[in-house]
Structure 1
Amino acid sequence: MERSEQIPEVIDNLRRIFQAVGEYSRSAERETELPGPQLWALKILARQAPLRVSGLASQMYLRPATVVGILDRLEAKRLVTRTRSQQDRRAVDVELTGAGREVVARAPEVAQVMLVNGLSTLTKEEFDSVLHGMRHMVRLLGAEHLTPQPLRG
C-alpha cells in the first residue's frame, strides 16, 4: 500500500484517540463533576494514600507544581486533605476524605489509567514502537517545546 493511502489511517487514528479521551472525560465529568486529572489523582490516592505530593506527581507523570494545582481544587471541594508529615515537617501527605472515597466508588475509569495500564502490558518491542512513533508525531507537529499538560480525559 502506498504511503499516500496510509496517511488517512494515521490521521483517523489520531482523531480516534482524541475522541476517546474526550468521551472518557465527558463521562467522568457527568458522573463525578470532576475533570479527568482530578479524578485520576483521587483514584491513585484511593489505592495508595497517604502519598506525598511528589509521589502523586510521579504516578501521574506530571510536575509537582501541576499536581499542587489539582490538589488545591480537590481540597476546595473537600475531597482530599493535606497534612504536614510527622516524620518530615517539610513534606505534605495527601489523603482522601470520606467524600473523596465516595466519588471514587462511583467513578468511571479515566483515560489516563487505561493508557498506563495498556502501555504496561506491551512487549518491549511494542512499547519501543509506540515511544518512537509518538516522538516522531511530536517532532512532525513541532511540539517539542510545549510543556505537557494533563489530559482532560
Structure 2
Amino acid sequence: MSSVSSTDAAASRERRRTMNQITDSFREMAVVMTVLNLRAGEQVGLRDVELKALDVLMRDGAMSAKALGQRLGMHPATMTGILDKLEKSGWVTRERSPEDRRVVLIQPVRERVGEIVRLFAGMNVMANGLLDRYDAKDLETIAEFMGTMVNMAKEASEEWGA
C-alpha cells in the first residue's frame, strides 16, 4: 500500500515540476519575444508598442483609434501620439469609415508592413517547422491551450484596468 502512495507522491511531484517548467517557459518566452521585438523595431525605427499596434492592424484589419487603444490597453492621448508617429513615418493612414463618416479608421500601409513581415520570416519558418512535428490532435490541443492562455492573460489585464 505504501508503494502506491509513494508512487502517487512521485507522480504528483513530477506533475508539479512539469507544470512549473511550462509556466517558466511562458515567462522566458515573454522575455525572449520582447527582445526579438525590440531588435526588429530597431531595424525599422519603431518602438515595441508601435510594432504591436501594427501587428493588431495587420491581423484584425482597420479600426478606430479608440478600438486600437482599448485593444492595446493604451490611454487615448498616448494612442494618438503613437498613431501620429506611425502616420508621419508612413506606416498607417487615417481614413473616414465608409459606413459612418464620423469614424476615422486606422489602416496599415500594406507595402510598409511587408518590411515587418520580412523581419519575422525566419521565426515564422522555424515555428511552422516545429508545428509540422505534431499531428492534428496535438495541434488542436496546443491551439486550445494557447487560446485559453491568451484569454486568461486578457482577463488578468482587464482586472488591472486600462
TM-score (norm: length of structure 2): 0.52
Q: Which protein, 1 or 2, shows the higher relative CO under an 8 Å CA cutoff with sep ≥ 6?
A: 1
Amino acid at match of 2:80: V
**Aligned equivalent of 1:60, options 69, 72, 77:** 72
- Would the alpha carbon gap of residues 123 and 104 (structure 1) be closer, same or farther in structure 2, given more than 3 Å must change? closer
Tell me the alpha carbon deviations over residues 40-84 of structure 1, each in whole angstroms, 9 at most, x when there is no partner.
Answer: 111111112211111111211212222111111011111110012
> Where does 1:1-153 land on structure 2 (aligned, <5 Å)?
20=32, 23-108=35-120, 121-122=148-149, 127=152, 131=156
Aligned mates of 2:92, 2:150 — CA distance in 1:
36
- Would the alpha carbon gap of residues 39 and 91 (structure 1) be closer, same or farther in structure 2, given more than 3 Å must change? same
Amino acid at match of 1:65: A
Task: Considering fraction of residues, name the structure with more helix.
Answer: 2
Amino acid at match of 2:70: S
Aligned mates of 1:47, 1:123 — CA distance in 2:
15
- Would the alpha carbon gap of residues 33 and 123 (structure 1) be closer, same or farther in structure 2, given more than 3 Å must change? closer
Deviation at 1:120, TM superposition (A): 5.2
TM-score (norm: length of structure 1): 0.55
| Number of equivalenced pairs | 111
Aligned mates of 2:85, 2:150 — CA distance in 1:
37
Aligned mates of 2:150, 2:111 — CA distance in 1:
39
Give the structure with higher Rg (CA). Answer: 2
Amino acid at match of 2:149: L
Amino acid at match of 2:47: P
C-alpha RMSD of the superposition: 3.6
Aligned mates of 1:22, 1:123 — CA distance in 2:
16
Tell me the SS of whatever aligns to 2:66.
helix
- Would the alpha carbon gap of residues 48 and 19 (structure 1) be closer, same or farther in structure 2, given more than 3 Å must change? closer
Q: Indicate if the aligned counterparts of 1:85 and 1:93 stay in contact, CA closer than 8 A.
A: yes
Q: Mark the runs of 5 or more structure 2 residues left unpaired by the alignment.
A: 1-23, 124-144
Q: Mark the runs of 5 or more structure 1 residues left unpaired by the alignment.
A: 1-12, 110-117, 136-143, 149-153
